[in-house]
Amino acid sequence: MAQQPPHRSANPTRRAHAARASVTMSDVARLAGVSPITVSRVLNHPERVSPGVRERVHGAIGKTGYVPNLLAGGLRSSKSRLIAAIVPTIESPAFLQVVQGLTHKLDEAGYQLMLGQSGYTQSREDALVQAIVGRRPDGIVLTGILHSDACRKLLQASGIPVVETWDLTPTPIDMAIGFSHEKVGAAVCEYFHRNGRRRPVLITGGDDRALRRAQGFMEAAQRLGLRHDALAGVPLRQLETPTSLQTGREGFAELWRRYPDLDAVFCSSDQAALGVLTEAQAQGIAVPERVAVVGLGDLPFAASLHPALTTVRIDGYAMGCQAAQYLLDRLAGRPAVAGAVDIGFSIIQRQSG
């Protein structure tokens, strides 16, 4: 299928990087017959400049193709109009929703988002934070509350507003918005119990938050006396993070083999739950009659599945919007939140369980 390009680049100029022909504010000023600072004002405080001059300057900008150097401006004003966010991975739609919320809200306010992926490891997060702080963003959004000491110190010393997301903590670096993962686990376990399920199993990712949900589930199970006949606890299959359709499918196949009496599955993501649904369908196991399946996230596809997926709704988009808002409030000098804010969750009952 490979095909060679029919023509070469139509671009005639020899492209040395960062061609030093770059137009500066002074060039524009000269052409408009004003001083550079006036050009700056036209761009940043147009109301402080007379309409006539404003127009002349805009004309000059158009003619020269001037694009302000935000590095220079940022250096001088210590305002970069840049917000940085670190997520474990954007391959997980759950984090993606937060990113979308952030993007949307920040974009409205004229800020840009710079995204980093930590891949769930602390060393990588540390490196990212260092690189990010070096660019002096106006704010930073973090995922989770587990950060190295060095990272916390660095962030606090930088004086940059920080929002931690996806979790709650009595000791945030600065601000925080999230929910209790233990409570999610407990709530789903109680939900199963209410619906008459007595032998649940867990399919979970191996990251900190997923494991705390599992823990909350187990504790509730113990309290409610749910257990497999041969087992003191709830069978748990821990998978790589992030969990996928594939891992969910395999995980369920394995659990079903070992515990053929299981009657409910709580998955740590909707993707894994889709995997369970797929495997159940392939094996002819009736959902929800024989096995109840509950996911986590309420991703867009959850409602469209067959059977439609019962899941724990986490409003990632709202979390992203909120996080952005906290940052924007702080930057605008408005009173911002203190401590951690609980965004909550809810169980969306559909057909699968």
- Of residues 65-94, which lie at the interface with DNA (CB under 7 A)? 66, 68-69, 72-73, 75-77, 79
Please tell me the count of residues contacting DNA according to CB under 7 A: 28
CB of 228 to its own copies, least distance (A): 27
Q: Among residues 75 and 150, whose Cβ is nearest to DNA?
A: 75
DSSP category for residue 308: P
Smallest CA-to-CA distance from 284 within 258, 256, 310, 246 is with: 256
Q: Which stretch binds DNA (CB under 7 A): 16-24, 137-145, 265-273, 332-340?
A: 16-24
Backbone torsions φ then ψ of 80, nearest 5 degrees = -100, -15
CB of 20 to its own copies, least distance (A): 8
Q: Dihedral sign, CA of 231, 185, 100, 273?
A: positive
Q: Tell me which of DNA, its own copies, none is bound by residue 48, counting a contact when its beta carbon lies within the kind-specific cut-off of 5 to 8 angstroms.
A: DNA
Residue 346 as a binder of DNA (CB under 7 A): the answer is: no
CB of 86 to its own copies, least distance (A): 12
Q: How is the beta sheet containing 310-313 ordered, strand by strand?
A: 236-239, 200-205, 264-267, 292-297, 310-313, 346-348
Q: Of 30-69, which residues contact DNA (CB under 7 A)?
A: 34-38, 40-41, 43-44, 48-50, 52-53, 66, 68-69
CB of 38 to DNA, least distance (A): 4
**Of 24, 89, 195, 215, which lies in the binding site for DNA, with binding defined by CB under 7 A?**
24
Structure tokens at 26: 């002074």
CB-CB neighbours of 169 under 10 Å: 14
Backbone torsions φ then ψ of 118, nearest 5 degrees = -95, -10
Structure tokens at 57: 């300057």
Q: Up-side HSE of residue 335: CA atoms within 13 Å toward CB?
A: 1
Which residues here bind DNA, judged by CB under 7 A?
A: 20, 22, 24-26, 34-38, 40-41, 43-44, 48-50, 52-53, 66, 68-69, 72-73, 75-77, 79
